[in-house]
Chains A and B, each alone.
Chain A
Amino acid sequence: MRMTTMRAGYPELVEVDDDQLFEFYPGLSGFEDQNRYALMDDDGSMLQWLQAVGAPSVCFGVVDPWGFLSDYAFELPDADADALGVKGSNDVIVRVILTLRSPMAAITANLMAPLVINPTTRLGRQVVLQDSDFPARYAIFEGRDTGDLGNGGEQRHARAA
């Protein structure tokens, strides 16, 4: 399917496969009228784009939270698990929305409301972790030496070993 994205700030026509399409019910807070999204890769980096189908300007930069925060963990609330059709330990995709501001220290991730996607049912939800201490605006480069950029996880593990 062909669709238009504004991920780079200007309209771009892209081709997406059916296996990149997901339905979000209810829609993300603030964007309740958008229910259909495409999850698109970005040049092999960990960054991905969640693009609303039919609304080119509704586009979110998203990442796998474990790419920068290895101790991130939460329990999927029953209501969300039911709605997504998640049974037991079957795989879900978890992504967090980034606010892509400059400078680097202003880049935040919404850890309080992760996106949980069931690739089997093709359903997604923004899950609100009401009782967690995870912030909606977590500075992902906080405390990170800028020279350390890019070797994140692996080097931290190497040091710990």
Chain B
Amino acid sequence: MLILTRKTEQAIVIDGQTIVRVLSIEGERVKLGIDAPKSITVLREELVREIAGANREAAGVRDPAAIDSVRRLGKTPDPDDVAPSPQA
């Protein structure tokens, strides 16, 4: 990992095209300006972690009753197929 120090208004250049500049520092908050080509996706890390967590959870559980509930979505209901009442 590359570790370096920057002051306000200083920047780093990644791969000749992406510029990350320190705009301001207030206490624990650092405001960054990111100038990247349109083809580069810039995301907050916690968001990527949240999506990864949601993906792992989704791949890890396939409950047969849940699958059945989704299968019935958008299908014409069978009159004999009465959904159970929710328990109080």
Where the two chains meet, the residues of A that have a C-beta atom closer than 8 Å to any C-beta of B are 7-9, 28-31, 42-43, 45-47, 57-61, 63, 67-68, 77-80, 82-83, 97-104, 106-107, 110, 112-113, 126, 128, 130, 136-137, 140-141, 146-147, 149-153
Q: How far is the CB of A103 from chain B (nearest CB, A)?
A: 8
Q: How far is the CB of A9 from chain B (nearest CB, A)?
A: 6
How far is B58's CA from A101's CA once the two chains are assembled, in angstroms? 9
How far is B49's CA from A137's CA once the two chains are assembled, in angstroms? 14
Complex contact B66–A101 (CB within 8 A): yes
Q: How far is the CB of A46 from chain B (nearest CB, A)?
A: 5
Complex contact A79–B41 (CB within 8 A): yes
Q: Which residues of A contact B58 (CB under 8 A)?
A: 60-61, 97-100, 110
Complex contact B54–A113 (CB within 8 A): yes
Complex contact A130–B54 (CB within 8 A): no
Where the two chains meet, the residues of B that have a C-beta atom closer than 8 Å to any C-beta of A are 38-41, 43-44, 47-59, 61-67, 69-77, 82-86
Complex contact B39–A67 (CB within 8 A): no
Complex contact B51–A59 (CB within 8 A): no
Q: Known contacts A58-B59, A128-B47; decide if A149 and B69 are in contact (CB<8 Å).
A: yes
Q: Known contacts A104-B66, A147-B83; decide if A29 and B74 are in contact (CB<8 Å).
A: no
Q: Which residues of A contact B52 (CB under 8 A)?
A: 29-30
Q: Known contacts A83-B39, A153-B74; decide if A102 and B86 are in contact (CB<8 Å).
A: no
Complex contact B59–A46 (CB within 8 A): no
User: Other than the known A98-B66, A152-B73, what 13 A-B pairs have Cβ atoms closer than 8 Å?
Assistant: A29-B51, A29-B55, A30-B59, A31-B55, A59-B59, A67-B74, A79-B40, A104-B65, A110-B55, A112-B50, A141-B69, A149-B69, A149-B83
Among the listed B43, B54, B61, B74, which residue makes an inter-chain contact with A101, where contact means beta carbons less than 8 Å apart?
B61
Complex contact B70–A57 (CB within 8 A): no
How far is B59's CA from A101's CA once the two chains are assembled, in angstroms? 11
